Amino acid sequence: MPLLTPSTMPSPTPLTMPSTPIRRSKHPDLTRNQRIQCLTLRSADWTYNAIAHYLGLTQRQVQTACSTDHPTPKKCKGRNATLSEAQVNELKVFICCLRTNRLMSYLHLATSPFTHWNISEYIIRNALRK
């Protein structure tokens, strides 16, 4: 068996860590004033690139702001309500009619009397907090 010396030893292969994909961060949405500035500068024959550089925005943000008809951005929509107003009212009437109903936990409400709604205790809790 040959003797291993530092000159005859195989060099270790460097370990490489698996790389994770780089996620680009989302640029913040433009305010109404920034959109108005974009539209004003564009009407003064500025290019998208010049406006983006001047205002510190991306060229795509400027292009989007200039392509819309009005400077007011759309309001971000929230999640749709799971329970209708009628269901919330039915739930409130059920809870208020008897003391034993008022003492029920949210989980018990979701699993016993309102099982046919297929909802969780969190939905009931949030509906009653409003």
Three-class secondary structure assignment of 8-22 = CCCCCCCCCCCCCCC
Q: Is the pTM of this model over 0.85?
A: no
CB-count burial class (<10 Å; 0-12, 13-18, 19+) for 91: buried
**The two structure tokens encoding residue 5:** 């010396």
Helix (H) or strand (E) holding 75: none
CB-based contacts of 94, cutoff 8 Å, min separation 6: 101, 113
What are the tens digits of pLDDT across the range 67-101? 987 788 777 777 777 899 999 999 999 999 999 99
